[in-house]
Structure 1
Amino acid sequence: MLVTVTTELPCTVELAGDVVRSSRLLVHVYWPLLVFRPVDPPELPVTWRVEDYLVTMRLLGLVPLGRQTISISFPTTTPDRLLLRDNGSGQLLRRWDHLITIEPGSRPGRTRYTDRIDVEAGRFTVVAWAFAHMLYRWRQRRWRHLAARDFAPISAPRRDGPTGTGTSPTGRT
């Protein structure tokens, strides 16, 4: 089942494109709804590469949701349009195909940001689809908040070490 959520960000396409490549963004925009802990490799890279990343996920940092593979790729892009794809899957989700599109917004200095998710979870697909609707609206709210603050919350050094240690953006577990 498909979920598509779009918002407009108060930043340039170039800046949004740089930020979306950061694994710190993943940690920040999902927190506190989902908390990720890297398994293989043991730390997420500072900048996403075309690679598979095995993580464990916890709902609200408490409820184990099992392992999930984040499978990053960068489909064909143009100077005005960036695509980032996570064609993931996991123990609960047979398919979590997430395509991020970043392109010019309604006026200069603004960016149109779209999350498109194709989710398959067997008999739980409808539940996963409904959760994805809520989750991606939350993500985009966090994106807008970050963009309005020039992405300062994710550009400051973390107190707890390198990215991907499985803590919140504030350093709490």
Structure 2
Amino acid sequence: MRIQLKTVLDCEPDVAWRALRSPAALREIYAPLMVMEPETELPTMWNATTATVGLSLAGLVPTGRQRIDISFDDRRADGVRILVDDGKPLTGPLALLGSWRHRMAVAPAPHGAGKTLYRDRLDIGGAAAPAFWLPLWTVWQWRASRLADLAPTWAYDPEIQAVDDDPAA
């Protein structure tokens, strides 16, 4: 079963891509609904890595552990950059799912200079997937709202310009 999201974010694609690769931004997107507690220290920026996190509802009700297994498809000729999470729920209700694949893509928005076309696709499988589709779809709608709210606030780190030390130049 598939849950899809497509929206335009009010930020440059490079800014959105940097935010997608940030565990801190991920925690911010889900807060305060879901709280993510890493079992080991997470990197500042995701790289091709695997991590395990505990999840809780509002930081109060444990909902299980999730393995995050990150890879990238960011060298496409069409300018689309994709972050792939092939992890899976390890414990809790979502562990009843037979499969989990989450892909998040950013690209320049058509007809929107300075904006990002964001696409998010979650594929789930197994006998329990139909029972989880509507709750996950609802979370994805909430997630879209959080992304839209947060995108304009994401910091942009401009390239540092070289300073010429020769005042006569």
TM-score bin (small chain): 0.7 to 0.9
**Matched position secondary structure for 1:47:** coil
Pick closer, same or farther for the CA change 1:64–1:124 going to 2, 3 Å.
Answer: farther
Q: What do the CA deviations read for 1:83-112 (whole angstroms, capped 9, x no partner)?
A: 001111122243221000101113211111
Counting aligned pairs with the same residue, the percent is 34
Any idea what SS the aligned residue of 1:101 has? Answer: strand
Q: Summarize deviations over 1:123-171 as a string: whole Å, max 9, x none.
A: 431232112211111112111111223x15xx9xxxxxxxxxxxxxxxx
Instruction: Note if contact 2:11-2:116 (Cα within 8 Å) is conserved in structure 1.
Output: yes
Superposition map of 1:78-117 within 5 A: 78=76, 80-90=79-89, 91=91, 92=95, 93-106=97-110, 107-117=112-122
Change (3 A) 1:59 1:94: farther
Distance apart, 1:76 and its partner CA: 4.5
- How much does 1:75 deviate? 2.1
Contact 1:56 1:67 in 2 (8 A): yes
TM-superposition CA deviations, 1:27-65 (whole Å, max 9, x none): 0111122111111xx121110011110111112222222
Q: Is the 8 A contact 2:9 2:118 kept in 1?
A: yes
Q: Work out the CA distance in 1 between the residues paired with 2:88 and 2:117.
A: 27
Aligned with 1:74: secondary structure? strand
TM-score by length of 2: 0.80
Indicate the RMSD between aligned Cα atoms, in angstroms: 1.8
TM-score by length of 1: 0.79
* 1:44-55 matched pairs, under 5 angstroms: 44-55=42-53
| Partner SS for 2:73 | coil
Q: Distance in 1 between the 2:44 and 2:113 partners?
A: 29
Q: Name the residue aligned to 2:30.
A: 30
Q: Which whole-Å CA distance do the structure 2 matches of 1:77 and 1:8 have between them? A: 21
Give the one of 74, 77, 82 matched to 2:75: 77
How far residue 9 of structure 1 moved from its aligned partner, in angstroms, is: 0.6
How far apart in 2 are the matches of 1:38 and 1:13? 27
Largest Rg, 1 or 2: 2
How far apart in 1 are the matches of 2:5 and 2:37? 26
| Structure 1 unmatched ranges of 5 or more | 156-173
User: Unaligned stretches of 5+ in structure 2?
Assistant: 158-169
